[in-house]
Structure 1
Amino acid sequence: MSLDQIAAAFDRRDYNLAARLLKEFLKESPQNPWGHIYKARLYEVSEHFENATAIYQQLLKSVTHPKIVSHARQGLQRIEARLQVKRQQAIAAAKSDPQNTEPGLLILEAIAPEIRAQAAKALAQIMNLDVYTARLHLPNRGWKIYRLGAIGEMNLYTEQLRTANIPAFCVTEVDLQQVSVFEVQYFEDYAPQAIVVCQNQQGQLGSLSFDWSEVSQRVEGQLPILENVTDVILGREVKRRSKAETLDYLQVYDLHLPKRRCILRMCDWRYQFDQGIEFGAMGDATIELDQAMNRQHWNSLKNFLNEQLLKQPLWADFSSFGETAIEFPMLLERLPAHVQEYDHALWSSAFHLYSSLAFNRDAHR
């Protein structure tokens, strides 16, 4: 059985004959690299791209013959071109469905160091990037907004990323906006049910009772207190440089009640520690609400909540998420903040986005 006969069958696109001839050829010459080139070609035409890629890559590692190397490289290029066309066709099909045109977000989750190199190669292939750029896009910790676009396209990318073992999820902007937020003023009771006095999004006060088992997860974050400062640089001429400097942080803590589609939000500068349940050792009924004492009360409140909800997940990586989220100001301006008496709208919207993403994350998996 000769290679010329196999080549002739390929030229005629008689792949069934080529497969039979190749099977006999590889029995006689199992180590012949040309036989493996044709084997990879058969995988190509049948669209078994992973098998074809594996053979081509193995040949590049083990063979130095210039023609073999050239054929293997050309094979990999053909496969990448075919896959890219398929991805574009799938994206176009997803976008054509009116139900898939709502604005959405694609979120990348942290990648473990041991699989980072492999994940970068996969991301590069899916997003048509070079590997170095793809590696820079992968978050080291927490979440990262990677792309905005039609939810159909974001869903497609999410499926491809998960198939490549890159953790990701997507959500529509509408879903983010449909979660109600109640700002907790204080806890009135905690057993047998928790009762909170809270304020709704219209500023109306009321009480809400819930079982601790209704809380699915917790979200914690710090919002920076920023002040613009001016540096004066003296030299041949005086230069002034204005920049924002972080003076301190405000604390925010959310409880998620998914069955009620609502978030209970507590803010350390808004919580009324002189009302309801006392938290921490306060000595007497008088509560000094200076900054240091307020932080002690806040820590006591957090400890209490953590004891009640020890088994519920806690999302507390807002700092890394927020630093990248504020690079999307137009997105944040479209989303509500639901944080009162805080002057930096982008940061408050970024925290609400982080909490709302956590709220919707598992619903879209």
Structure 2
Amino acid sequence: MAKVRKRILPSGKQVWLADYRDGAGNRRSKQFELKKEADAFLVSARGEVAKGVHVADSASTTVATAAKAWIKRAESEGLERSTIASYQQHIDIHIVPRIGATKLSKMTVPSVHEFADDLGQSLSRVMVKKVLGSLSSIFKEALRTGKAAQNPVAAVKIKMSKRDAARAEMPTKAELRAILNATPEKSKPLIWTAAFTGLRASELRGLIWDDVDLDGRLLHVRRRADPYNVIGKPKSEAGTRDVPMSPSVVTILTEWKKVCPKGDLGLVFPNGAGNVESHANLLNRVFWPIQIAAGVSTNTGKLDDDGNPVMDAKYSLHALRHAAAALWIEQNATPKRIQMLMGHSSIQMTYDTYGYLFDAREDDQAAIAAIEERLLAS
């Protein structure tokens, strides 16, 4: 029978013990300085036992141990190495150093708020939100295995102001035109496809010829290459989609297919040996030199051996994806259509990224042809 009783410690100090039985019938007790604290705990514990969710402090695990279990679960479910590596960074750099030794049963909504406030001293709100997302997933896994009775992170919300949501970096139309005009013939297939279809770099690196419908003027996005050059499915169900090609992209890819390096994977944009090209090479050997040649660059303030200023490219390859979306929106594609074309998992993601650009409309093939004609018109 659950009850609160007084106890005198050997030191002579008076404490209060909350005695009860857990869901398995095992006797448990917890010590408090005040009777009202013991009473409150007992009410809560009895309710949790009745619901089958109670975990005694002595049976609870630490955040660090629970984090290991979560990562092990993620690995068993086949999550991509890059995703797991990101989670592990959250754990190693932000979670374990601060609260790793704390038992899950000791974590409360106020303590999670305190943890988030501590993170906010050195991290952006966006990053704090990501770390809390990982902590929440740790609790979800602990709940699944009976190591936690609740997920206090679920009640903690990080407010994102419009100032926190930086607009996607992308070249202006003049810069994009300069980039396309400065692109050498050997790089045109990649750069023009990126600029007019909005595929992610990982999707471009994993694109195979079997998924290129030149007659139907469609790219079937069915796979991607991860940072370790491993081909796999898109990261989300929404990533599997069909994207229209502009007339010039169809022409360029038709000619490229004749001379594209051959490999067992049948990749559209492989390295010279026909294998998956690394993302770093696409930047260092292709896109960054093109930008500098196009004058789309910034002065580093340094000089080379000949006394000339050293220039840096302004944009990542992902900027072409944003530019493609902006061009689609300019042609009045609807938010829902942009969500599909970009492979966003939710319409909210589309609004968060491109909300300031929107108006409305649909006809894909006519729109992409008009986009190309307007952009490249001299």
TM-score, length of structure 1 as denominator length: 0.29
TM-score, length of structure 2 as denominator length: 0.29
Select the structure that is richer in strand: 1
